[in-house]
Amino acid sequence: MNAHVPAPPNLWIPSIQELTGCDMMSIRVSEGELYVEGVTQQVLDDAMTIYYGDQETYVFTPCRNAKKKAVSNKAYLFISDRYSIQVQQMFQALLTEASILGLANRIVYVRQLLDWAKTVVQENINVDDAIDAATTVAEIKAISIDLTPFEATNPQITIKAAMEIPD
């Protein structure tokens, strides 16, 4: 069995896989045609009717989710490239200690990192909102996150400096 139809614009292959029940390796696109091995033509035709009938579910939502995941990963890597997870954990420990001991100046110092990270996360949220508002695949794909402004606002705090703050 080998079924085929004209490849739809904005093809989202995982949705075709879900709708036809085939595995990913059974789907290919060649010369403007979508081929699905192992399903009947009727199964593919029915799947395409559902696919075209609910673009929000089968194209836009998965496209948005994939784009948001990529943006989130970029923001996360941006922060962790500057402050590794181990360094972030140490700052958390120092902040906890400062809270317990009432070390107000250390809290202010370490809080710079939290405040900065929150600005990066807020930009990620803003971009997610733009992705949610996009109404075409082209619009979704065109959205990106620009993290270059956050280089200038990075507080560049250090564990050593935090530990040297006595109060």
CA dist., res. 87 & res. 159, Å (int) = 7
Q: Identify the domain boundary among 10, 29, 53.
A: 53
Q: Are residues 31 and 102 in the same domain?
A: no
Residue whose C-alpha is closest to residue 6's, from 42, 45, 37, 43: 45
Taking only the tens place, the pLDDT of each residue in 107-119 is: 999 999 999 999 9
pLDDT score for 115: 98
114 assigned to some structural domain? yes
59 assigned to some structural domain? no
Q: Are residues 82 and 122 in the same domain?
A: yes
Q: Are residues 34 and 73 in the same domain?
A: no
Q: How many domains is the chain built from? A: 2
- Is residue 51's pLDDT more than 90? yes
As given in the structure block, the two tokens for residue 66 are 């994939």
**Angle of helix 13-20 relative to helix 41-53, nearest 10 degrees?**
130
**pLDDT average, residue stretch 139-150:** 98
Q: Are residues 146 and 109 in the same domain?
A: yes
Domain enclosing residue 74, as ranges: 68-163
Q: Are residues 35 and 86 in the same domain?
A: no
8 A C-beta contact, residue 110 and residue 91:
yes
What is the chain's mean pLDDT, rounded? 97
pLDDT score for 109: 98
